[in-house]
Structures are given as C-alpha cells and as structure tokens.
C-alpha cells in the first residue's frame, strides 16, 4: 500500500518519501527492520525508522567509505568492517585485489538475511571469497585483536539503539589497538546541517582527536541521509589521505565507480570555512 515515509531530520524538518510497497517489516533482537520500495530512492533499508541505505545513492556512501582509506594505505592486506550488514562496503572492497582478508562484524544477522533477499545490488558483496562474517558486537570482537588490521571501516547507524557502542571512547581505543602500527580507520560521522547531528560530529572529533595522530573529516553528497554535507572521519596512525594518496595504484586498477575518482578523493578533504574553523584537519 502506498504511503509517505517520514524521515525526521529534526523536530522542525522532515523529508517525506513516497513509498510504493513494504517488502519486509519485522523486528530482530536489536532493532526494527523495514525494506521499503520508494519512487525516487528505489529500495530502502530502514532501521528504527531511520533511513540506513537506499538503492539510489548508496554508491556514494560506500565508495567514499572504502576507496578513500584503501587508496591512502600503501599496502592494505587485512580489512575489518564493523556493521555493514547490507554488503555495500564489502562490494567496494572486492574491487581491491591486494586485500587478503576481509572480516565483517555485524551484530544483527537479520539485517544480513533481509539484505541478501531484497537488496541484491548491495549484498552481492557477500560473495567475496576473502570474506568472513562474524555476528557479534563490534567492541566485543575487537577486544581480543591486537596489531592485526591495516584498515578498519566503521559502517555504523546513528548513535542510538544498536549503534550506540560504536561512538564510545572505549570502542575507539579498541580500534587503535586492533590496528597495525601504520593502520587507519574511517567512519561515517553525520552532518553539520542539523544541531543534533552536528553535536555528534563534534563529540566524535573530540574523542578521536585525543587518540589518533591524524584526524580529518572528508565529505560527500548523500541525498537520502541529510540535506547538505555528509561527513566521514579519517583517523590514522601514519598515512595522510592527501600526502599519501596512492595515485598510481588508483590509475592501474581503473575501478568502475559511479562517484569516487582521484579528483573527488582530494576534493572531499577540502572543508568549507565553517567546518575548517571548527575542526582543524590535522
């Protein structure tokens, strides 16, 4: 039955998205899960009434989350994905032949199961033979890992419900420990457009800034997430996303991307004054 889904950006701004059909609606042990078919955004995964991913623009988010760190690290062999149950992050990782091992830790097996059924363009990622999937809490999983990963990608929902622990200082320390001495990490970091999300962004920056030597925001346009800038945080022990950009490997691989390219890599790190003045990209 057709209806309007309401994506509540704030108490005073709401995006109405016309839905053609509900493909799945249910609750796991962790959250409410819906898969909706919309007119403008294609199929959408909705977790606890927040848009998690849409077929229309997921490529922007996933390409930026993956290729910015992968083309910064000179030799990425082991990659950990926290969250990412839709498969989109792994699909992009699959484009990098030098990776030897991909671990994915998703707390909610129902997300994986439903995405495999209803979002095949994303869940195609699960076919990668280098992938091992663990159903566990990200923090719990990381506790026992030391000096193991080249790259960690934190594909978290907003810091409510199932995703809350992935925004805590303890979690970032676990990441630091699990990364090799030249390891790096990316995470989605909300938007400055609305007050609540900007507060989260500032809080993430404050925590990470005290832990990693290099902390920078990079940005992209993700229409279904928020009007305005969508931000990602890049944290690194050694490599800088501009100075260490692996241009030659980028050119050699000649990826079939829809968003990310070498110019976009560099451009995504340019911050407008109102962000540059708030956060020093050091």
- Of residues 90 through 109, those in contact with a second copy by CB under 8 A are none
Stretch that binds a second copy, among 77-85, 118-126, 233-241, 273-281 (CB under 8 A): 273-281
Stretch that binds a second copy, among 34-42, 113-121, 164-172, 246-254 (CB under 8 A): 34-42
Instruction: Report the C-alpha dihedral over residues 262, 268, 270, 273, rounded to 10 degrees.
Output: 160
* Residue 206 within binding range of a second copy, rule CB under 8 A: no
**Nearer to a second copy (CB atom), residue 124 or residue 255:** 255
Stretch that binds a second copy, among 94-102, 116-124, 181-189, 260-268 (CB under 8 A): 260-268
Q: Count how many residues are written for the chain.
A: 282
Which of these, 231, 228, 229, lies nearest to 208 by C-alpha position?
Answer: 231
Which of these, 257, 181, 187, lies nearest to 213 by C-alpha position?
Answer: 181
Are 181 and 147 in contact by the 8 Å Cβ rule? The answer is: yes
* Residue 40 within binding range of a second copy, rule CB under 8 A: yes
**Nearer to a second copy (CB atom), residue 57 or residue 150:** 57
Contact partners, residue 125, CB within 8 Å, separation at least 6? 87, 88, 89, 90, 91, 92, 93, 94, 131
- Of residues 182 through 201, those in contact with a second copy by CB under 8 A are 193-194
Which of these, 189, 126, 131, 184, lies nearest to 156 by C-alpha position?
Answer: 189
Q: Hey, which residues does 26 pair with through a beta bridge? A: 33
**Nearer to a second copy (CB atom), residue 63 or residue 155:** 63
Q: Which one among 15, 124, 176, 211 touches a second copy, defined by CB under 8 A?
A: 15
Interacting residues with a second copy (CB under 8 A):
4, 9-18, 38-41, 57, 60, 193-194, 219, 221-224, 226-229, 257-261, 263-264, 266-274, 276
């Amino acid at each position: 039955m057709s209806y309007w889904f309401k994506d509540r950006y704030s108490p005073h701004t709401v995006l109405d998205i016309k839905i053609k059909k509900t493909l799945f609606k249910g609750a796991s042990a962790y959250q409410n899960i819906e898969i909706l078919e919309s007119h403008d955004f294609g199929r959408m995964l909705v977790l606890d009434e927040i848009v998690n991913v849409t077929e229309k623009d997921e490529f922007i988010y996933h390409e930026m989350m993956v290729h910015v760190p992968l083309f910064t690290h000179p030799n990425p062999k082991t990659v950990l994905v926290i969250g990412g149950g839709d498969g989109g992050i792994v699909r992009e990782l699959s484009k990098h032949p030098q990776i030897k091992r991909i671990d994915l830790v998703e707390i909610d097996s129902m997300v994986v199961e439903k995405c495999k059924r209803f979002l095949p363009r994303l869940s195609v990622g699960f076919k990668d033979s280098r992938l091992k999937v663990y159903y566990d809490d990200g923090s719990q999983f990381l506790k026992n890992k030391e000096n193991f990963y080249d790259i960690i990608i934190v594909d978290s929902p907003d810091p409510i419900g199932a995703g809350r622990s992935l925004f805590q200082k303890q979690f970032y320390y676990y990441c630091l420990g699990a990364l090799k001495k030249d390891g790096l990490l990316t995470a989605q970091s909300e938007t400055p457009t609305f007050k609540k999300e900007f507060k989260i962004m500032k809080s993430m920056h404050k925590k990470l800034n005290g832990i990693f030597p290099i902390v920078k925001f990079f940005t992209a346009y993700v229409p279904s997430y928020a009007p305005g800038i969508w931000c990602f945080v890049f944290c690194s022990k050694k490599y800088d996303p501009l100075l260490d950009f692996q241009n030659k490997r980028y050119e050699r691989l000649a990826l079939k991307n829809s968003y990310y390219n070498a110019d976009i890599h560099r451009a995504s790190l340019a911050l407008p004054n109102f962000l540059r003045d708030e956060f020093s990209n050091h």
